Structure 1
């Protein structure tokens, strides 16, 4: 499986997760969360090349995918991830709120991505 296809899998599952949440389907939401975390772990295992594949999603058409990719890249690539989160945080709704919370914790120095 190519890194690009793993990144596409990450994006697809983030989108499915968001859609499940909007439908009120928590079980489906958890299923897709596990899948996008698994895709992230595969990308992370490839070091910079995996991060490059994930960074390609920072321009994805869906805001939820951009924000999730930025969230997962924030510790390793803050100069790429932060502007995506800042732009999303200007909006209203669930995804902008999550972006603003991520930035808040980053600014406070309490940000931690715990997916191990």
Structure 2
């Protein structure tokens, strides 16, 4: 699968998971989480080229997509990813909870979403 298709798959399924969680449908949410995680694994296999492809999502219109991408890009694009997470926290909402926890883990030194 091409890089842009993997990035699209990641974004589409993060958004779908967020929508499912908003409806209280954890089963569907988990299905989409598995899909975006699979896309992410394929991006990781391509090293920094895959990570770089994911950076376009730091500007995505949906906060959940921006925050999820930023969480995975903290080691690769630290300053930008932190800024995105801080912005999502200021926006509030469901995505802010995940962004808060991600930054907390980063600051504690226990973050391990993309160990490299």
Give your verdict on TM over 0.5: yes
Question: After the TM superposition, which of the residue ranges 20-29 and 93-102 deviates more from structure 2?
Answer: 93-102
Spell out, residue by residue over 1:6-33, the C-alpha distance to the aligned partner (whole angstroms, 9 max, x if none): 1000000000000011111111011000
Write out aligned runs for 1:31-110 (5 A). 31-110=31-110
What stretches of structure 1 of length at least 5 have no aligned partner?
A: none
Q: Shift of the alpha carbon at 1:100?
A: 1.3
Q: Shift of the alpha carbon at 1:77?
A: 2.1
Partners of 2:93 and 2:56 in 1: CA distance? 24
Partners of 1:79 and 1:7 in 2: CA distance? 21
Structure 1's consecutive aligned runs of 4 or more residues displaced over 2 angstroms after TM superposition are none
What stretches of structure 2 of length at least 5 have no aligned partner?
A: none
1:27 maps to 2:27: yes
Question: Alignment RMSD, CA only?
Answer: 1.5
TM-score (norm 2): 0.92
SS at match of 1:90: helix
TM-score (norm 1): 0.92
Partners of 1:9 and 1:111 in 2: CA distance? 24
Paired residues, what number? 115
